A and B are shown apart, each in its own frame.
Chain A
Amino acid sequence: MSTTTDPQGGSFRLSMLLNDTRYRSLTLQAIAAILLAVSIGYIISNLLANLRAQDLNISFEFLTSPAGYDINQTLIDYNSQSSNIRAAVVGILNTLLVAFLACITATVFGVLAGVLRLSNNWLVRKLMAFYVEIFRNIPVLIWIIIIFTIMTAVMPSPRAFRGDDPASTMLLDLFAFTNRGVYIPGPYFDRGIGGADGSVINWLLVIATLLGSLFATRMVTARANATQAATGVRPKTLWTNLAIWFVPILALLFILGLKWEIPELKGFNFGGGIKVGGPLIALWFALSIYTGAFIAENVRAGIQAVSKGQTEAASALGLRPNRVMSLVVLPQALRVIIPPLISQYLNITKNSSLAIAVGYADITATLGGITLNQTGRAIECVLLLMLFYLVISLLISAFMNVYNNAMKLKER
């Protein structure tokens, strides 16, 4: 005797919408769609009612009106008569600046601490474990505030540098650490192309030279690899590479006439050189040491993920220890390290929004802080702010996907 569970054709009953797996998912999705539409409609109707009650509307016209506030650290020209949108761009550039700086230093701290945590020196190992645990378990906001306090309350005021026997002196006569910021020597070109306004062209020229050197050294390395593959003897490339790196750039800088402008005390404050504000340093340094502790753990895990047999096999093939590291261990470890590293970079970018706590003018502080408070355009400002961060994180995740696909183990 056989039983059939197939429903009889043509006899559609209403209960089948719930009990039949062929229709149930449709029913559930329809319910979800209705619920979603109802709740969105409810939220929008509330929003409109609230706006009407307060006599407000949604408009982005405020972006083009003058901002009316000053920003102390800007990368592009800005004054209080510039538009709100220019203030937002200043903020975006400041966000990107601090994120970029913090990514570099956090990587340096993290790699150093991660490698040293695997050192066979007991004391160094414990010290690094201590660093990682302390910094991972205390909120980054506290670190930012602590370093900001060091920068503003502990550093001497410019007045302390005055007189014949000053209380504070400049480090190496080049760097001045004051409670108004750190003053460092600023480079400029004596014989630069295009006079005083042409400095951007000069810097582009420097970058182009460096890129050219990079390209040339890669060519040299590729040729050395080819020679080694053909003859078994690797030509010495060290001096060639050093020459390619240093000769063109030094020649270019000499031709352009690179000079350093040393900060000096003028009146009540330092002048000349580059001023790096206390908030920027607090944010930069705090994000670096905090995220560095996380990166250290990623690096350690990545190196430990390469099985010991790989190192032993490479040694058995007769490779020297540094070649074992560069040819066998690192390429495999990097595959494990890079994806979490990139998500740490994303975290740095997002955490840089804490700038508002110390008054660094990033996008959150300009668009989401002062502009929002002055214009009262809460909804527009917060939406634009979210949009900016969303675009950044989508770009970084897109880059990560491309990288992961390129690095995926090619299995055949």
Chain B
Amino acid sequence: MSDTHAQTVSFVRETAIPPSPAPSNAAGPVKWMRDNLFATIPNGILTLAAIFFIYLILSATVPWIFNGVWNASSLSECREILDGTKGACFAVLTERWPQLIFGFKYPSEEYWRPTLAFLLMFAALAPVLFFDLPRKMLVITGLFPFVAYWLIWGGTIWTPIFALLGFVVGYLVYSRFVTRSFAFGFFGGVAAAIVVWAISSAILPSLAPEETFLPAVPSRDLGGYMLNMMLGVTCVSLSVPLGIALALGRQSSMPLIKWICVIFIEFIRGVPLITLLFVASVMLAYFFPPEATVDLFLRVVIMITMFSAAYIAEVIRGGLAALPKGQYEAADSLGLDYAQAMRLIILPQALKISIPGIVNVAVGLFKDTTLVSVISMFDIIGMIRGPILASTEWNGLYWELFLFACVVFFVVCYSISQYSQWLERRLATDHR
């Protein structure tokens, strides 16, 4: 390079100019708003309409909520405190809190029992929902139904212990014989459990003391949001295994089994849940032996479980159908029998595909537990529409109670669907 220009050029820039910030209309919030809110004139109008709509809702609700009264014993007292200003009367929630949560007949000195069962539920659900947790925690899950039953219903402790004993004996028999044949182990286990239960139901009356540590609470005293929770948790956990069995039955090559499952599923899916609850409340009692008294809670659990099992079966059938045929053939060519192929190859994959659908059914089922208020069970809706709105103190108060019901359902259902989305991402093994 010659040095000719070294003399002629008076200035040579040796460092790069630092980048200047983008003009204000091409970056930052202005640019974002132009792109996302006011891209075109119709879009701008739409934005303004949306802002106006949001303003309408917020201006109606925000002062109402923040001006709320939390301490009063009746609606008239509440209105006195508010003194003509606009405000919610949340005092009904604080004053009727136990009724909303536990129903109006559950003995108030025993409220700690369902509360404890509720807290234990999280410990029991954790290893099922988050499988990074140590597998030993599943012991809590296994024990939870019996502990929760004892806590909520009370009475003699021997009932849940014998029920648990039956399951333990059944499982021992099953694991002893399953190496020979799955069917042998399975039916052997079932038979052993039934034998244990038969024996224990014979000796149970002699063991039952007069005074129990936890006083017994009859099923008809259950109510409030607790009832929705109990129905939801019980029926979902019972209907998943039943749904798997129905889905496998519907795929079966045995025509009789297949048609039993098809008719059951299509029948249940064809009728509304309300009619099944009518069956539970007025018709099911006719199908039990005349001397048996099956209480309404159990009848409702039976019907709701059948209802959701039919829906879950259809979801799982979709999962089974989505598996490539090669998976079935591979399992066959390895020489696995039906039970092994299903347990080790097919179901783990099919259930993984079905998780979003199962969660949808679970959310729908939890929402549908409110329908029991129609057959005069006092769940949270039944409590609001019945004892609380009919009381002289709170007659004429609606929105606070409905808002509360909306919030409790929204929190649970929204968290379940968020969990399912997380799980889907977690389980995705394909490459994207």
Chain A: residues with CB nearer than 8 A to chain B?
Answer: 25, 28-29, 32-33, 36, 43, 46-47, 49-51, 53, 119-124, 127, 133-134, 136-142, 145-146, 149, 153, 350-351, 353-354, 356-357, 364, 368, 372, 378-379, 382, 385-386, 389-390, 393-394
B36–A36 contact, CB under 8 A? no
A-B contact pairs, 5 of them (CB 8 A): A29-B256, A120-B39, A121-B37, A127-B50, A378-B286
| Complex: A149 Cα to B396 Cα, angstroms | 10
Assess A146 versus B272: contact at CB under 8 Å? Given A33-B256, A372-B282, A385-B278.
no
Determine the chain A residues whose CB is within 8 A of the CB of B257 once the complex forms.
28-29, 32
With A138-B367, A145-B402 in contact, do A382 and B253 touch (Cβ < 8 Å)? no
* Distance of A305 from chain B, by nearest CB (Å): 16
B128 CB–A CB distance under 8 Å: no
Query: In the bound complex, do residue B274 and residue A354 qualify as a contact, i.e. CB atoms below 8 Å apart?
Result: yes
Q: How far is the CA of A275 from the CA of B272 in the complex (A)?
A: 28
Shortest distance from the beta carbon of B108 to any chain A beta carbon, whole Å? 27
| Chain A nearest Cβ from B87, distance in angstroms | 17
Chain A residues near B267 (CB, 8 Å)? 390
Least distance between B92 CB and chain A CB atoms (Å): 15
How far in angstroms is the closest Cβ of chain B from A151?
A: 12
- Check B402 against A389 for contact (C-beta < 8 Å): no
Residues of chain B lying within 8 A (CB to CB) of residue A28: 254, 257
Contact with B256, one of A32, A47, A134 (Cβ below 8 angstroms): A32
**Dominant secondary structure at the A interface:** helix
CA distance A36 to B256 in the complex (A): 10
Smallest CB separation, B418 vs chain A (Å): 10
Closest-CB distance, B284 to chain A (whole angstroms): 10
Beta-carbon contact of A47 and B286 below 8 Å: yes
Distance in angstroms between the alpha carbons of A265 and B54 in the assembled complex: 36
In the complex, A149 Cα to B401 Cα: how many Å? 12
Q: A25-B254, A50-B285, A121-B39 are in contact. Are A389 and B270 (CB under 8 A)?
A: yes
| Distance between B423 CB and nearest chain A CB, rounded to angstroms | 18
CB B402 to nearest CB in A, in angstroms, measures 5
Residues B355-385 near A (CB distance < 8 A)? 363, 367-368, 370-371, 373-374, 381, 385
A127 partner residues in chain B, CB cutoff 8 A: 50, 53-54
- Knowing that A28-B257, A46-B290, A385-B271 are A-B contacts, what are 5 other residue pairs whose CB atoms are under 8 Å apart, sorted by A's residue number? A32-B257, A33-B256, A354-B371, A368-B278, A379-B286
Bound together, the chains give a CA A50 to CA B363 distance in angstroms of 37
For residue A136, which residues in chain B have a CB less than 8 angstroms away from its CB? 413
Bound state CA distance, A28 and B43, in angstroms? Answer: 65
Q: A121-B36, A385-B275, A393-B269 are in contact. Are A32 and B409 (CB under 8 A)?
A: no
Mask, B246-281, CB within 8 Å of A = 1, is 000000011111001000000101111111001100
Residue in B46, B255, B275, B405 whose beta carbon sits within 8 Å of that of A121 in the complex? B46
B288:A46 contact, CB within 8 angstroms: yes
Pick the contact of A382: B54, B275, B406, B409 (CB < 8 A). Answer: B275
B51 touching A123, Cβ below 8 Å: yes
Task: Let me know if A390 and B51 touch, CB within 8 A.
Answer: no
B398 adjacent to A139 (CB under 8 Å) = no
A351 to B271 alpha-carbon distance, docked (Å): 10
Given A124-B50, A137-B413, A389-B275: A382 in contact with B285 (beta carbons within 8 A): no
Answer whether residue B421 sits at the interface, using C-beta atoms and an 8 A cutoff.
no
Interface of B is mostly: helix
Q: Are A390 and B271 in contact (CB under 8 A)?
A: yes
CA gap between A28 and B253 in the complex, in Å: 12
Contacts of B290 in A (CB 8 A): 46, 49-50, 53
Contacting pair A145 B385 (CB below 8 A) = yes
User: Interface 1/0s, chain B 291-325, versus A by CB < 8 A?
Assistant: 00000000000000000000000000000000000
The answer to whether B409 and A142 have CB atoms under 8 Å apart is: yes
Q: B417 — nearest CB in chain A belongs to which residue? A: A137
Question: Which of the residues B273, B363, B385, B405 comes within 8 Å of A137, measured between beta carbons?
Answer: B363
Is B47 in contact with chain A by the CB < 8 A criterion? yes
Q: Which of B255, B260, B272 has the most CB of A within 10 A?
A: B272
Q: How far is the CB of A18 from chain B (nearest CB, A)?
A: 8
A364 lies within 8 A of B413 (CB): no
Docked-complex contact A382 and B278, CB < 8 angstroms = yes
Least CB separation from A121: chain B residue: B43
The 6 closest A-B pairs by CB, nearest first: A122-B36, A137-B413, A350-B272, A139-B367, A378-B282, A393-B270
Q: Does B414 contact A (CB under 8 A)?
A: yes
Taking a contact as CB atoms under 8 Å apart, the answer to whether A47 and B287 are in contact is: yes
B28 contacts A by Cβ under 8 Å = no
A50–B275 CB distance below 8 A = no
Interface membership of B410, Cβ < 8 A: yes
Separation in Å of the A149 CB from the closest CB of chain B?
5
- Which residues of chain B have C-beta atoms less than 8 A from A51's C-beta? 286
B283 touches A (CB below 8 Å):
yes
Closest residue of chain A to B409 (Cβ to Cβ) is A138
The answer to the question of B289 belonging to the interface, with a C-beta cut-off of 8 Å to chain A, is: yes
Indicate if the CB atoms of A353 and B272 lie closer than 8 Å. Answer: yes
Chain A residues within 8 Å of B260, by CB: 32, 36
**What is the bound-complex CA distance between A393 and B269, given in angstroms?**
9
Q: Verify B374–A356 contact, CB threshold 8 A.
A: yes
**Complex partner residue of A353 from B275, B396, B398, B413, CB under 8 angstroms:** B275
CA–CA, A381 and B257, complex, Å: 30
